[in-house]
């Protein structure tokens, strides 16, 4: 069965490994990203990120989805499943070899990009930012296995290649958006800090047009610790409850925005705000959470993949 | 008589009923023809027997086991599905390698001998073979796994007359050499007449006639006599009647010889029989619908 799996997988396997290999050569020739990158390295930095995001989707659509669906479309499933080997064994071999190859290929590519981009100036913003996090470390191996299992299950349930590919891509995209937005920050406990707003740590003011200028100041934010992934930035009053921006702060923010203020004027204004008991509460994952978060997210995707593979084993018995 | 396929009230429903309370007993060591029009349930029956499809209700036993129940069962049954599927990107030799890898009882010598005898080029991809060659390759894969029972679903439907004859005579040789039981389906009576010694006729998912070809021929007769409206013969069951101005011709089933001087008794062909049964089934259904 190993031989047959590899033989049937030859074209898709070579195509995808060749694509990744070609990119790897390009990265190697351009040289490792450093603090003063060439234009090529600078663009490759983004190419690398995109490639790691896209690769699992391609593997799901081109390795996972056709695995059973193409056999059914061509009628060859009745050839394959009438040999002296059960469907379970047939599927197990395919999942281990091809699913394993998908995880391995993506994992290696991701680790290579992680190493290559290690010194890049863009990394200074922190590898925990969603646009970077998903293209670094070990989590992409989980994405790849998940996309593969998703394709496999879709192929078994839909029994047609193109619909299975479309569903795989759509669901995978939805999950890749949902996880950083609503799931990832819940994977591990976050750190909370309540700090006074100072000219040094103030990061942004969010203003909208409103009747009275002071009412338009909706939010202020402070910087989190270096390379941290700030999830929440809330102004709290003396009692620690979230509150709207008070006039004492709003008025000088408006002035800062419209005419500009001297530094000591800003300091005075922020000092008055602090005296009134206002603090900024920052919720974040610190830079040191990068690897714990990576492994936890890998675990999450392994569990999701496991569920889809289990479903595939159950439902393949019904395919005819 | 030992059975190789035995079903009891086997039923399969999709949106329509493909098999309707089918009870069949197919004897071992025979070449059984499964005949019926398109949509009569032949494919459904064979696909269930191969373990590819689960019935809605009823039971089926193939080679003493439940279809698709595991490796031993898969090894006992060889199945060539409609359109004789093969992997178009794999060569003939790679197909044999696949068979050898996946079947414990694989007979490599037999497979290679057959490929050579059929004049197939081992390096040729299956996708470039002619329909007849592809059917031969599919049969070779099936035979070389040494099953007890060979299930062939319309194996010659897509073939031209010459390829069809070659396939069937080759099949006969294989059966003679290996002694395996065969069930093959076709909607063409001529194909089955040539090779089968047992027949099962399916009409709209139900068994209409089953038996050894010799017995069927011995118990069915054509009676010709003067025109009469009475379509009845003592001791015989009238399947079909046709009238001309002066003559009445009946096709009857009777276990004992008919010696009514009124009738001239002559033999029937399998084709007459099958057509008579199909027509009888159709008019019975028309009656049912009318009621």
Chain B neighbors of A316, CB-CB under 8 A: none
Subunit contact A320:B98, Cβ cutoff 8 A: no
- Shortest Cα distance, chain B CAs vs residue A79, angstroms: 7
The pLDDT of residue B116 is above 90: yes
**What pLDDT, on a 0 to 100 scale, did the predictor assign at position A249?**
84
Structure tokens belonging to residue B227: 């025109």
**What pLDDT, on a 0 to 100 scale, did the predictor assign at position A264?**
78
The pLDDT of residue B289 is above 70: no
Structure tokens belonging to residue A201: 């740590």
State the distance between the two ends of chain A, measured CA to CA, in whole angstroms: 20
**What pLDDT, on a 0 to 100 scale, did the predictor assign at position A210?**
63
**Each residue of B239-250: pLDDT tens digit?**
888 888 899 988
Cα–chain center distance at A266: 38
What's the mean per-residue pLDDT of chain B? 90
Annotate B146-177 with b (16+ C-beta within 10 A) or e (fewer).
Answer: bbbbbbbbbbbbebeeebbebbbebbeebbee
Q: How far apart are CA A202 and CA A234, in angstroms?
A: 12
**What pLDDT, on a 0 to 100 scale, did the predictor assign at position B11?**
94
**What pLDDT, on a 0 to 100 scale, did the predictor assign at position A73?**
95
Beta bridge partners of B17: B13
pTM of the shown model? 0.89
Q: How far is CA A261 from CA A153, A206, A248, A253, A264, in A?
A: 61, 17, 15, 9, 8
Q: Per-residue pLDDT for chain A (320 aa), expressed as one digit of tens each?
A: 899 999 999 999 999 999 999 999 999 888 888 777 788 888 899 999 999 999 999 999 999 999 999 999 999 999 999 999 999 999 999 999 999 999 999 999 999 999 998 888 778 777 888 889 999 999 999 999 999 999 999 999 999 999 999 999 999 999 999 999 999 989 999 999 999 888 888 888 887 776 666 677 778 888 888 888 999 999 998 888 998 888 888 877 777 777 666 777 888 888 888 888 899 999 999 888 999 999 999 999 999 999 999 999 999 998 98
**Each residue of B181-192: pLDDT tens digit?**
999 998 888 888
> What does DSSP say about strands B220-226 and B237-243: parallel, antiparallel, or unpaired?
unpaired
Q: How far apart are CA A188 and CA A199, in angstroms?
A: 31
Q: How far apart are CA A132 and CA A52, in angstroms?
A: 10
Pure H helices in chain A:
2-30, 39-59, 66-74, 77-80, 87-94, 100-116, 130-133, 139-158, 161-178, 184-187, 247-258, 263-275, 290-316
Tell me, yes or no, if B105 comes closer than 8 A to chain A by beta carbon.
yes
Chain B neighbors of A83, CB-CB under 8 A: 74, 98-99, 102-103, 145
The pLDDT of residue B290 is above 80: no
Confidence tier at B212 by pLDDT (50, 70, 90): very high
Q: Which of A196-200, B46-50, B158-162, B258-262 has the lowest mean pLDDT?
A: B258-262
- Shortest Cα distance, chain A CAs vs residue B56, angstroms: 12
Tell me, yes or no, if A8 comes closer than 8 A to chain B by beta carbon.
yes
Q: How far apart are CA B274 and CA B185, in angstroms?
A: 14
Q: Which of B52, B74, B78 sits opposite A320 (nearest CB)?
A: B52
Subunit contact A86:B50, Cβ cutoff 8 A: no
> What does DSSP say about strands A279-285 and A229-236: parallel, antiparallel, or unpaired?
antiparallel
CB-defined contacts A:B, below 8 A: 74
Q: How far apart are CA A303 and CA A250, in angstroms?
A: 48
Subunit contact A83:B104, Cβ cutoff 8 A: no
**Sheet-wide strand order for B57-62:** B17-27, B3-13, B57-62
Tell me, yes or no, if A78 comes closer than 8 A to chain B by beta carbon.
yes
ipTM: 0.87
Structure tokens belonging to residue A169: 């891509």
Q: Which of A100-109, A197-206, B15-24, B37-46 has the lowest mean pLDDT?
A: A197-206
Subunit contact B54:A318, Cβ cutoff 8 A: yes
Four-residue CA torsion sign, B102, B105, B109, B112: negative
């Amino acid at each position: 069965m190993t031989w047959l799996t590899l033989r049937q997988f030859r074209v898709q396997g070579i195509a995808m490994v060749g694509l990744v290999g070609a990119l790897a050569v390009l990265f190697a020739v351009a040289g490792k990203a450093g603090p003063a990158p060439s234009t090529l390295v600078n663009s490759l930095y983004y190419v690398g990120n995109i490639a790691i995001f896209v690769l699992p989707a391609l593997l799901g659509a081109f390795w996972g989805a056709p695995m059973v669906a193409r056999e059914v479309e061509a009628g060859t499933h009745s050839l394959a499943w009438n040999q002296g080997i059960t469907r379970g064994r047939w599927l197990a071999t395919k999942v281990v070899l091809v699913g394993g190859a998908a995880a391995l290929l993506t994992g290696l590519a991701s680790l290579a990009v992680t190493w290559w981009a290690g010194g890049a100036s863009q990394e200074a913003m922190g590898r925990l930012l969603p646009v970077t996090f998903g293209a670094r470390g070990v989590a992409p191996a989980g994405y790849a296995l998940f996309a593969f299992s998703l394709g496999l299950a879709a192929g078994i349930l839909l029994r047609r290649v193109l619909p299975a590919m479309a569903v795989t891509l759509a669901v995978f995209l939805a999950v890749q958006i949902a996880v950083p937005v609503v799931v990832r920050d819940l994977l591990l406990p976050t750190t909370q800090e309540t700090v006074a707003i100072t000219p040094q740590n103030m990061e942004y003011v969010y203003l909208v047009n409103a009747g009275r200028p002071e009412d338009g100041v909706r939010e202020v934010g402070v910087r989190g610790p270096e390379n941290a992934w700030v999830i929440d930035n809330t102004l709290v009053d003396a009692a620690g409850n979230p509150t709207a921006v008070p006039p004492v702060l709003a008025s000088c923010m408006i002035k800062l925005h419209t005419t500009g203020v001297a530094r000591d004027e800003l300091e005075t204004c922020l000092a008055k705000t602090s005296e009134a008991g206002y603090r900024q509460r920052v919720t974040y994952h610190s830079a040191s959470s990068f690897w714990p978060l990576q492994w936890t997210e890998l675990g999450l995707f392994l569990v999701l993949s496991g569920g889809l593979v289990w479903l595939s084993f159950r439902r393949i018995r019904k395919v005819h | 008589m030992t059975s190789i396929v035995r079903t009891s009230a086997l039923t399969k429903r999709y949106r329509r009923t493909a098999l309707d309370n089918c009870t069949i007993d197919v004897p071992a060591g025979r070449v059984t023809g499964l005949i019926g029009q398109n949509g009569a349930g032949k494919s459904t029956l064979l696909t269930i027997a191969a373990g590819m499809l689960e019935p809605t209700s009823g039971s089926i036993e193939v080679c003493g086991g439940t279809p698709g129940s595991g490796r031993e069962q898969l090894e006992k049954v060889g199945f060539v599905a409609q359109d004789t599927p093969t992997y178009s990107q794999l060569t003939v030799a790679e197909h044999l390698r696949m068979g050898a890898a996946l079947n414990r009882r694989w007979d490599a010598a037999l497979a290679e001998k057959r490929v050579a005898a059929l004049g197939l080029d081992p390096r040729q991809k299956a996708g470039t073979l002619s329909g007849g060659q592809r059917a031969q390759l599919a049969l070779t894969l099936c035979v070389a796994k040494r099953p007890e029972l060979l299930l062939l679903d319309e194996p010659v439907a897509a073939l031209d007359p010459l390829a069809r004859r070659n396939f069937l005579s080759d099949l006969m040789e294989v059966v003679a050499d290996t002694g395996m039981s065969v069930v093959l389906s076709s909607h063409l009576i001529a194909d089955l007449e040539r090779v089968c010694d047992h027949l099962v006729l399916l009409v709209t998912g139900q068994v209409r006639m089953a038996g050894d070809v010799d017995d069927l021929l011995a118990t069915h007769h054509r009676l010709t006599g003067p025109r009469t409206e009475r379509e009845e013969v003592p001791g015989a069951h009238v399947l079909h009647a046709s009238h001309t101005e002066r003559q009445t011709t009946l096709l009857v089933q009777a276990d004992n010889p008919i010696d009514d001087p009124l009738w001239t008794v002559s033999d029937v062909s399998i084709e007459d029989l099958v057509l008579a049964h199909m027509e009888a089934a159709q008019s019975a259904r028309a009656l049912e619908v009318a009621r």
